[in-house]
Amino acid sequence: MSCDAKNTIDPTELKREILSKYPAKVARKRSKQIVINQVDDEGNVPEIGANVRTVPGLITQRGCSYAGCKGVIMGPTRDIVNITHGPIGCGFYSWLTRRNQTKPPTDADDNFITYCFSTDMQDKDIVFGGEKKLKAAVQEAYDIFKPKAISIFSTCPVGLIGDDVHAVAREMKEKLGINVFGFSCEGYRGVSQSAGHHIANNGIFSHVVGRDDTIMDAEFKINLLGEYNIGGDGFEIDRILGRCGISVVSTFSGNSTYDQFANSHTADLNTVMCHRSINYVADMMEEKYGIPWIKINFIGAAATAKALRKIAAYFEDEALIARVEAVIQEEMPAVETKCLDVKKRCDGKTAMLFVGGSRAHHYQELFREIGIRTISAGYEFAHRDDYEGRKVIPEIKLDADSRNIEELTIEQDPDKYAARKTDEQIQSLEAAGNQFKDYKGMMPEMEKETLIIDDPSQFETETLLEMYKPDIYCAGIKEKYAIQKSGIPMKQLHSYDSGGPYAGFKGAVNFYEEIDRMINANIWAYLEAPWQAAPELSAKYAWE
Ligand code: CFM
């Protein structure tokens, strides 16, 4: 029934309708970030505005730079003591709020993820400076936990008053004899958490990667970059890779440890899962150590099979290629049985995905497998390359906000660089259809006329829901209940609600079941959306 409505909506009209509610200047800005998708034969798509400041007053889904650094990148590492230098709220709200899991091999191994370390900055520290307090906190953490490493995260006031966290880190490193490093990841450092990813990754690359040259005794060694083990995704990926005989030296940063980062330059291939948060690390590792990188995706059963085949093709080993095929053959029947069953009830339904900087793309694969079309999607904080593909990177203009984030100058390491493949080998692999250093982005894979919205506001979300009435909407906790009140099931794709894993083969089965349960539950029919209860209810903006 609602299908007709979806097909008759003119996205151009809808965009005009949304923009008409904004003041002219805001409308101009938003019009660049709301794009009607078109894909030509070469896979070219329209330009989208992305990675720009949110207009003050619009209710955004975004987080801050500190969140991206401390929570996203460093959050899943279990044996580094992460101290938040700042008011207690910043530490508290980034304490176990992301469902990244970790599994120390034994109870004796360090696991600090369950702790919240903070300097608990007070007014007097803002006035007189907080460096002394920070030093005392580092000392105290060391005395109690004796960790391998301690890292320090700057919150907004730290930058405003000018505490030098790096000087404190240097001094304490010298004094304690362990690795201590700081991050200038004040919340305001960038336009979103994306800046924090970059700051964290630069820090790990400068302070940790390359410090342990032990070569793992394994035949096929890879790093998994941009996989954060949300809901146990990383465990499922490790299970599958393990079955294939592929060894993971380091995951950045799901279920990771300090030693794995330190050792990661010994891997022979970097595989990039979340392009947004980590693509620059892959580039830096290639330049400094000679490790090529490929984009892979373990979200979706077909995507998982494809990722495994890509890795096997890179190593050019017949036994590995055969083993990967055997694993796919063994794993797929259970997935296909579930998929066929669920598809009976989900085929033809529609979804909208507004998540982070990567999942709004990856999850379209899983939905497609059970016959669900994505009719509108967008990211909170992705850059143009995540939408349009890496080919637009040279065109992206650096603005003042991007310049704020340090770009490391990387050179070949005189001792540790070893090209894993010669140029000729890479070329012949490319000729055989393998792609290196490439990501085509989300938009080329989306249908024409779908609405792509960057950094959507709450008002835009509500308008989309009202007009399109999708069968399911995916975003985060801030959006969840407002959306469900309008009678539309809402799946959290950040935390997975309480579910997961959704990666790999077993994850696909979990996801199909979950979406089937949510979409086909009777409960939604009993809910009345505000516009159904009071269709004439309207309001005017002050400037109208
Ligand atoms: Fe990468 Fe992520 Fe994402 Fe991200 Fe995130 Fe996340 Fe995400 Mo939430 S690193 S960009 S900053 S895939 S926490 S595990 S779900 S917004 S789409």
Question: In this predicted model, what pLDDT tens digit does every residue of 174-190 receive, in sequence order?
Answer: 999 999 999 999 999 99
For the four alpha carbons of 422, 425, 431 and 437, in that order, the dihedral sign comes to negative
Mean pLDDT of 272-293: 98
- Residue 161 CA to ligand 1 centre (angstroms): 30
Confidence of residue 4 (pLDDT cuts 50, 70, 90): very low
Confidence of residue 7 (pLDDT cuts 50, 70, 90): low
For residue 499, pLDDT beyond 50 = yes
Report pLDDT digits (tens) over 516-530: 999 999 988 888 777
Residue nearest to atom 5 of ligand 1 (CA): 356
Q: Which atom of ligand 1 is nearest to the CA of 274?
A: 1
Q: How far apart are CA 66 and CA 155, in angstroms?
A: 6
Q: How far apart are CA 470 and CA 315, in angstroms?
A: 43
Q: How far apart are CA 410 and CA 206, in angstroms?
A: 10
Residue nearest to atom 7 of ligand 1 (CA): 356
Report pLDDT digits (tens) over 133-145: 999 999 999 999 9
Q: Which atom of ligand 1 is nearest to the CA of 359?
A: 17
For the four alpha carbons of 18, 23, 24 and 29, in that order, the dihedral sign comes to negative
Give 3-state DSSP helix, strand, coil % of the chain, rounded to 5: 50, 15, 40
Strands (E), 170-255: 179-183, 220-227, 246-253
For residue 332, pLDDT beyond 70 = yes
Residue nearest to atom 15 of ligand 1 (CA): 494
Q: How far apart are CA 360 and CA 379, in angstroms?
A: 6
Q: Enter the pTM of the model.
A: 0.95
Residue nearest to atom 16 of ligand 1 (CA): 356
Catalytic residue among 53, 62, 98, 211: 98
For residue 305, pLDDT beyond 70 = yes
Confidence of residue 537 (pLDDT cuts 50, 70, 90): low
Q: How far apart are CA 214 and CA 82, in angstroms?
A: 26
Percent of the chain topping pLDDT 70: 97
Q: Which atom of ligand 1 is nearest to the CA of 71?
A: 13
Counting every residue written for the chain, the total comes to 544
- Residue 331 CA to ligand 1 centre (angstroms): 27
Q: How far apart are CA 363 and CA 328, in angstroms?
A: 20
For residue 107, pLDDT beyond 80 = yes
Catalytic residue among 85, 99, 189, 197: 197
- Token readout for 34 is 């709301």
Q: What is the reported pLDDT for 524?
A: 86
Confidence of residue 5 (pLDDT cuts 50, 70, 90): very low
Residue nearest to atom 1 of ligand 1 (CA): 274
Catalytic residue among 30, 50, 67, 169: 67
Active site residue 98: yes
- Residue 309 CA to ligand 1 centre (angstroms): 25
List the strands of the sheet with 490-492, edge to edge.
Answer: 34-36, 451-453, 373-378, 350-354, 472-475, 490-492
For residue 355, pLDDT beyond 70 = yes
- Residue 291 CA to ligand 1 centre (angstroms): 24
Report pLDDT digits (tens) over 32-58: 999 999 999 999 999 999 999 999 999
Confidence of residue 532 (pLDDT cuts 50, 70, 90): confident
For residue 148, pLDDT beyond 90 = yes
- 223: three-class secondary structure by DSSP: strand
Q: How far apart are CA 69 and CA 411, in angstroms?
A: 24
Active site residue 403: no
- Residue 409 CA to ligand 1 centre (angstroms): 26
Q: What is the reported pLDDT for 2?
A: 41
Tell how many helices (H) and how many strands (E) occur in the chain.
24, 14
For residue 535, pLDDT beyond 60 = yes
Mean pLDDT of 276-296: 98
Q: Which atom of ligand 1 is nearest to the CA of 67?
A: 11
- Residue 234 CA to ligand 1 centre (angstroms): 14
Q: Which atom of ligand 1 is nearest to the CA of 73?
A: 9
Report pLDDT digits (tens) over 358-403: 999 999 999 999 999 999 999 999 999 999 999 999 999 999 999 8
Q: What is the reported pLDDT for 526?
A: 84
User: Which of 250, 184, 244 is CA-nearest to residue 212?
Assistant: 250
Residue of 65, 70, 72, 497 to test ligand 1 pocket, by largest number of atoms within 8 Å of CB:
72
Pocket of ligand 1 (CB under 6 A): 68, 72, 98, 193, 226, 228, 230, 274, 276-277, 355-359, 494
Active site residue 200: no
- 318: three-class secondary structure by DSSP: helix
Residue of 98, 229, 275, 355 to test ligand 1 pocket, by largest number of atoms within 8 Å of CB:
355
- Residue 143 CA to ligand 1 centre (angstroms): 34
Q: What is the reported pLDDT for 533?
A: 73
Active site residue 67: yes
Q: In 300-353, which ranges are continuous DSSP H helix?
A: 301-315, 318-346
Confidence of residue 486 (pLDDT cuts 50, 70, 90): confident
Q: What is the mean pLDDT of the chain?
A: 95
For residue 1, pLDDT beyond 70 = no
Angle at which helix 193-207 crosses helix 275-289, to 10 degrees, equals: 20
Residue nearest to atom 8 of ligand 1 (CA): 494
